[in-house]
Amino acid sequence: MNIKDAITDRMSVRSYLEKPISKETLTNILDTARWAPSGTNTQPWKVIVTQGKSKQAISSAFLNAHKKGIKTNPDYDYYPTEWAEPFKSRRFECGMDLYKALSIGREDKEKREAAALANYDFFGAPVSIFFFIDKVMGKGSWVDMGMFIQSVMLAARQYGLGSCPQASTSDYPDIVRDILDVSDQYALICGLSLGYPNDESPVNQYRTRRESVESFTSWAD
């Protein structure tokens, strides 16, 4: 697979086959991603691969926290407090397209909640990779983390794997740190669901749209 295809074919996969991923494959993916750039080569990433019991424990704890009405407390604000255009419209369009793919009506609150809670089950993926960063690091290192996580997703395409980076999996960082025995000095950025895509699932048939190059680019001579 060439680089262009890896980038343009990548999508957020929300349904996976019940097919395990070998440790060798996971290691190879991370071995490729470790070459991602970072300011002054700080390599700020801390990675924990969860599957089996550890992944299930986190999933169960997430769902239990939600059921009890425990307020989410992520280590950082992923989204703005108030939405402004054009971001508000793009977010709305993304949500509507997803619900359409899932055949969920606009007023069907029960199915909408079920779709949201599927995040806490990692959409049935066999693996979830959690990414942490030391809290002493600045915003530049968070940019580095984004490039590293993207590298993981692109490297996974080489092996026919799909992925979904999930801000929702950082809703309860203390749960994740406790189960995985991670020090509080590390902020949880997100989890990444990883597995072989279920290409027959309707939810994997829709794609989010992208703006044209002309819409976001200016040329300075």
- At the topology level of CATH, where does 3-76+120-207 sit? NADH Oxidase (3.40.109)
Dihedral Cα 192, 194, 200, 202, nearest 10 deg: 0
Per-residue pLDDT, 102: 86
3-state secondary structure of 2: coil
Q: Which pLDDT score is estimated for 110?
A: 87
Which distant-in-sequence residues (6+ apart) come within 8 Å of 18 by Cβ? 124, 126
102 in Cβ contact with 14 (< 8 Å): no
* Owner of token pair 């703006």: 211
Ranges of residues in the chain whose predicted pLDDT is under 70: none
* Domain range summary for the chain, segments of one domain joined by +: 3-76+120-207
The predicted pLDDT at position 97 comes to 87
Does residue 52 come out as left (phi exceeding 0), alpha (psi in the -120 to 50 range) or beta?
Answer: left
Give the C-alpha separation, 162 to 209, whole Å: 18
Amino acid at 79: Y
Q: What is the pLDDT of residue 218?
A: 97
